[in-house]
Chain A
Amino acid sequence: MSRLATVLAVVALALALLAGDASAHPLGNFTVNHLTNVAVSDDGVQLRYILDVAEIPTFQARKQSREHVLARARQEVARRLNVSVDGHRVVLRDAGPALLSFLRGQGALNTTRIELPLRAAVTGAHVVLLRDGTYPDRIGYTAIVAQPGTGTAVRSSVPSQDPTRGLRTYPPSTIQRPLDQRTATLTVRDGAATLVAPRLDGSDTVTTRSGAGDGFASVFENAAAGKTTLVLLLLAALGWGALHALSPGHGKAMVAAYLVGCKGTSRHAVVLGVVVTITHTIGVFALGLITLLLAQSVLPETLFPWLTLISGLLVVAIGLGVLRSRVGHHRAQRSHHHLDEHRHAHGTSHAHGHTSHHHGHTSHHHGHSHDMPDTITRKSLIAMGAAAGLIPCPSALVVLLGAVAQHQVGLGLLLIFAFSIGLAATLTALGLLVVHAHRLPIRLAVPKRLLSALPAASALIIVGLGCAIALQAAPKLL
C-alpha cells in the first residue's frame, strides 16, 4: 500500500499546481493596474510594462479592435512613461513582441492584459529616473520593480520583489495597502549584475544578484550576454530540467500510475522518458511558435487551459484503455476456464473437431497463468508519454520566448532540448523506481486479492487524474 500512498502523494502534488485561482478581480472591477519592470545593464535600459485592466474599463473598450486597444496602450506609454538617463529623456523602443490577451473575469466579462517589452539603448548611464505617469485618473495598483542588469551594480529606490507576480495575483497585502509607486531612481556603477533595493515593507535593503533569483530564465540572460560558456549553460539547463521535474505537474503521477497499472518493465520506463522528452520539447516549440504567431493578440495564459484540457482528456482515454485491458484480461481468463469445462462435458461427441483448437488454447492459457500479458503496446506507451509531456511548463516557455526576444532563437531551442532531457531523466528515474518498487508487495506478502486490485485501482487513478486535469481547465474556458 505504500506504493499507492506514494502515487497518491504525487497525484496530490500534480493537482496542487493545477488548482487555479479565483477569477474575481481582487482589486475591483473599475481598476487599471500597471507594473513596470526595469533593469539597467551596461548597454541599455530594459523595461517590461505590464497592464491589467479590470472588467468595466475592458467592457468600455469592447468596440475597439485588438490593434486599437494595443495602439492606445502604446500611445499612453509613449506619452506618459518617462525614462531619463543623467538628466536627458531617452526614447523607448520595442524590444520584442507586445502581448495582448483578454482573460475571463467576473460576471462573464473579460479583463485585458497587455505586456510591452521596451528598451532604450544607452551606455555609461549613472542615474536613471523612471516616472510612470500612465493612466493618471484611473485607480489601480501601480508599481515599479527593479531587476539586476548585466554588467552593472545598481542601487534602486524601489523594491526588487513583486508580490503580484507580474499583476497575475493580488495577495491580501497588496489589497490592504494598494501601492501607487510611480517613480524610481536607479544609480548605476559598473559591476557584476547586482542590485541593491529596499524590501517591500521599506524596512531594509536587500541585494540581488542576477541568476540567483529567477532560476533558469536568468541563467539564460547571462548566456545571451556571453558570460557563460555554452557547455556550462547546457549542463545548467539539463540540471535545471531534472530539478524542475520534481516540481508538481509534470505527469509524474500519470507515469507512475501507468507503469503500475500495466506492470511495466524498466524498458518501458526508459521509453516513456524518451517520449516525454520529445513531446515536451515539441510542445514547448509548438507553443512558442503559436505564441509568436499570435504575439500581437494572445498571451500563453489563454492557451494553457486548452492544452490542459486536451491533455486531461487524453489521460482519461488512456486510463480507460488500461482499465479495459485489465478487465478484458480477466474476462479472457474466466472464459478460458469456462471453455475448458465445456469441452470436457461434450468431449466425447466432438473430440475430433476440437483437438487442434484445444492445443492452441492450452498453450495460450499457459502463457496467462505464468506470466502477465504485455498490455503496454508501443502505441499506448507513446500516447502516455505524449500526454505527460504535452503540458509544457511556463518556465520553459519563458526561456524560449526570452531567447526569441533577444534574437537568440537557436540557443533557446538548444536550451529547451537540454531542459527536456533533464526533465525526462527525472521522470525515467521515477519510472524505474516505481517499476522496481512494484516487486516489493510480493516480497512483503501482501494479500493476493489486494495485489490483483492494484492495477485496476491505478487505472482508475489515471482516469481520475485525467478528469481532474480536464475539470481544472474547464472553468477557465467557460
Chain B
Amino acid sequence: MLRRTLRPRVLALPTVAFVVALGALWALDDPARPASTPAVNPVDLIQRGNAELQRARETADPAHYASAETMFGQALRRDRRSVDATIGMATLALARHDFRRGLRYAQRARRLGPHLARPFAVLVDAQIELGHYEQAGRSLQQMIDLQPNLASYARVSYFRELHGDLTGALRAMRLAVSAGAAVPENVAYVQTLLGDLQAMRGQTAAARRAYTLALSGVAGYVPALAGRAQLDGATGHLQAAIRGYADVVRRRPLPQYVIALGEIQQAAGRPADARETFALVDAERRLLAANKVNSDVEIALFEADHGDHARAVDLARRAWRAAPSVRAADAVSWALERFGRPGDALGWARRAVKLGSQDPLILTRAGLTARAAGHAGEARRYLRRALRANPHFSVLWAPRARNALRGLR
C-alpha cells in the first residue's frame, strides 16, 4: 500500500502542478514587467532615452543606462530603421565601454542616415576608443565639414591631444566653447576640458579661470571642481587639494576622483586615510561589475599602483581586448612593469606613445618602464617629454619622473 501511495505517476501530477504554479507565479510577479503598456511613439521614447543619457552624464549614475536602454529598445522595436534610436544605442554601448558594439550601432546609424552629421559623433568616439585612429581622423573631417559645432570641435581637440598637438587641441577646444550649446552642462563640459588642457601645459591661472567659468554656468559642476582640486594638488597645496577632492567625492564618488583623493592623501603623508579611500574604489569595482560597466583601464591602473599586480595585468589585458586604444596599451604596459616584467612591458609602452602623446602621466610610466627594461636613452626621452610642458604636472608623478631622470644621467 505504501508503494502504491508513492507511485511516481500519482505523485507526478501534484508535483508538476505545484512547480507550474510556482513558475507561473514568479512569471506573473516579475516586478520589472510594466503594469500596462501605454501607446508611445518612437520619438517620445527617443527623447526620454536621450534625457536618461544626459542625466547619466550629469549625475555619473550608471543606473540611468538601464532605463535609457529600455527606451531605445522600445523605440527600435516600433521603428527598426530609427537613426536616433540607433545612435542612442551606440551612445549607451560606448558609455558602458562596450566599444565594438558601439561601433556596430554607429556604423548602422551612419548607413540609415548617410547625409546626417549626428551619427559621426558616436562613430568617431568608437573608432578612437578602438584604436582605429586613421579612420577616426577621416570620419572627424567629414563630421566637421558637415557640422562645425561643439560636439565636432571637442572631438577634434581630443584627436589632436592624442597625437601630441597640444596647441592645436587648445585652439579647437576654444572653438568648441565659443560654439556653445543649448544644454549648459555641455558648455561647462568643454570649458572644463579646456581647463584640463591648459593645466597640462602649466597655464595654471588660465586653467583656473576656465574651471570658474564652467562653475558659473553649472553650479557645483563636479568635473570643474575636480579640475580645481587637481590644480591645487599639482601646485603643492595638498590640504586644499584634499578638501577639494573630498568635496568632489562626497558629491560624485566616481572611481577616478576617489583614486585621486587617495593619492593626494598618500602624498600628504596620511596613509590611513588613503587606505580608507582606496577601500571605496574596491567597493565601486564590485558595483560597476554588477552594473555591467567595464571601466577596466582606470581600475587596472589603480590595481597596478595600489592593489593586486596580477589582477592589474588581467584587467588591463581585458581592457585591451575590449578596446585596443593607446590608453589600454598604457595600462597593460604599466601593469606588466609593476608585475615585474619590464621587458614585456616596453613593447606596450611604445604602443602607448606611438601617436606622439604628450600626456605626462603616460610618458612618465613609459619612461619608468623603459628604464626598468634597461633602455636608458629611450627612458630619458620619455621622461624629458613628460616634464617639458609642465614640470609640476602632478604632485605624485612629477617628482618620480624627475628622480628617475636624475638617476639616468
B221-254 contacts to A (CB < 8 Å): 249-253
Given the known A-B contacts A450-B10, A460-B15, A461-B14, are A28 and B290 also in contact in the complex, defined by CB atoms under 8 Å? no
In the complex formed, the residue of A with least CB distance to B252 is A30
Partner of A109, one of B52, B59, B283: B283
Q: Is B291 a contact partner of A29 (Cβ separation < 8 A)? A: yes
A453 to chain B minimum Cβ distance, whole angstroms, is 4
Q: Chain A contacts of B253 at CB under 8 A?
A: 30, 56-57, 60
A254 to chain B minimum Cβ distance, whole angstroms, is 14
Q: Chain B contacts of A60 at CB under 8 A?
A: 249-250, 253, 280
Q: Is B63 a contact partner of A176 (Cβ separation < 8 A)? A: no
Given the known A-B contacts A26-B63, A172-B70, A461-B14, are A453 and B5 also in contact in the complex, defined by CB atoms under 8 Å? yes
B64 lies within 8 A of chain A by Cβ: yes
Q: Is A178 a contact partner of B2 (Cβ separation < 8 A)? A: no
A25 to chain B minimum Cβ distance, whole angstroms, is 7
Interface window among B25-33, B205-213, B346-354: B25-33
Q: Is A25 a contact partner of B31 (Cβ separation < 8 A)? A: no
Partner of B18, one of A11, A56, A334, A456: A11
Residues in A lying within 8 Å of B, measured CB to CB: 4-5, 8-9, 11-12, 15-16, 19, 21-22, 24-31, 55-57, 59-60, 63, 106-109, 137-139, 169, 171-172, 175-176, 178, 326-327, 330-331, 333-334, 449-450, 452-453, 456-457, 460-461, 464, 468
In the complex formed, the residue of B with least CB distance to A337 is B1
Q: Is B287 a contact partner of A176 (Cβ separation < 8 A)? A: no
Q: Is B291 a contact partner of A334 (Cβ separation < 8 A)? A: no
Residue of A5, A59, A108, A461 most packed against chain B (CB within 10 A) = A59
Apart from A11-B21, A449-B4: 11 A-B pairs, beta carbons within 8 A: A11-B18, A19-B26, A28-B63, A31-B61, A107-B283, A138-B251, A169-B31, A171-B35, A175-B63, A175-B66, A176-B48
A12 to chain B minimum Cβ distance, whole angstroms, is 4
Given the known A-B contacts A15-B25, A107-B287, are A327 and B2 also in contact in the complex, defined by CB atoms under 8 Å? yes
Partner of B59, one of A8, A56, A139, A460: A139
Q: Is A29 a contact partner of B63 (Cβ separation < 8 A)? A: yes
B60 lies within 8 A of chain A by Cβ: yes
A298 to chain B minimum Cβ distance, whole angstroms, is 23
Instruction: Give B122-143 as 1s and 0s: 1 = Cβ < 8 Å from A's Cβ atoms.
Output: 0000000000000000000000
CA distance A172 to B48 in the complex (A): 12
Q: Is A330 a contact partner of B22 (Cβ separation < 8 A)? A: no
Residue of B28, B55, B250, B284 most packed against chain A (CB within 10 A) = B284
CA distance A264 to B11 in the complex (A): 22
Q: Is A29 a contact partner of B287 (Cβ separation < 8 A)? A: yes
Given the known A-B contacts A176-B67, A452-B1, are A109 and B287 also in contact in the complex, defined by CB atoms under 8 Å? yes
B42-66 contacts to A (CB < 8 Å): 48, 52, 55, 59-64, 66
Q: Chain A contacts of B60 at CB under 8 A?
A: 30
CA distance A333 to B18 in the complex (A): 30
In the complex formed, the residue of B with least CB distance to A63 is B276
Q: Is B287 a contact partner of A55 (Cβ separation < 8 A)? A: yes
A197 to chain B minimum Cβ distance, whole angstroms, is 22
Q: Is B25 a contact partner of A19 (Cβ separation < 8 A)? A: yes
Q: Is B286 a contact partner of A108 (Cβ separation < 8 A)? A: yes
Q: Is A30 a contact partner of B59 (Cβ separation < 8 A)? A: yes
Q: Chain A contacts of B35 at CB under 8 A?
A: 171
B6 lies within 8 A of chain A by Cβ: yes
CA distance A108 to B285 in the complex (A): 12
Q: Is B283 a contact partner of A59 (Cβ separation < 8 A)? A: yes
Residue of B21, B61, B62 most packed against chain A (CB within 10 A) = B61
Interface size class of B (residues with CB under 8 A): 35 or more
Q: Chain A contacts of B28 at CB under 8 A?
A: 16
Q: Chain A contacts of B407 at CB under 8 A?
A: none
Partner of B63, one of A8, A27, A109, A449: A27
Q: Is A460 a contact partner of B251 (Cβ separation < 8 A)? A: no
| Interface CB pairs A-B, < 8 A, 26 | A4-B14, A12-B25, A15-B22, A19-B26, A19-B29, A22-B32, A28-B61, A30-B61, A55-B287, A56-B284, A59-B283, A60-B250, A60-B280, A106-B290, A108-B286, A109-B283, A169-B31, A175-B66, A176-B52, A450-B10, A452-B4, A456-B5, A456-B11, A457-B14, A461-B14, A464-B18
Partner of A16, one of B29, B67, B70, B290: B29
Q: Is A468 a contact partner of B5 (Cβ separation < 8 A)? A: no
CA distance A457 to B66 in the complex (A): 44
Q: Is A334 a contact partner of B2 (Cβ separation < 8 A)? A: yes
| CB-CB nearest 7 A-B residue pairs | A28-B63, A28-B61, A107-B286, A330-B2, A139-B59, A453-B10, A457-B14
B183 lies within 8 A of chain A by Cβ: no
Q: Is B18 a contact partner of A8 (Cβ separation < 8 A)? A: yes
A159 to chain B minimum Cβ distance, whole angstroms, is 18
CA distance A468 to B22 in the complex (A): 9
Q: Is B25 a contact partner of A331 (Cβ separation < 8 A)? A: no
B34 lies within 8 A of chain A by Cβ: yes
CA distance A172 to B250 in the complex (A): 27
Residue of B6, B11, B249, B283 most packed against chain A (CB within 10 A) = B283
In the complex formed, the residue of B with least CB distance to A15 is B25
B24 lies within 8 A of chain A by Cβ: yes
Q: Chain B contacts of A25 at CB under 8 A?
A: 63
Q: Is B5 a contact partner of A452 (Cβ separation < 8 A)? A: yes
CA distance A450 to B280 in the complex (A): 61
Q: Is B11 a contact partner of A453 (Cβ separation < 8 A)? A: yes
Q: Is A460 a contact partner of B11 (Cβ separation < 8 A)? A: yes
Residue of B32, B52, B60, B63 most packed against chain A (CB within 10 A) = B63
Q: Chain B contacts of A22 at CB under 8 A?
A: 31-32
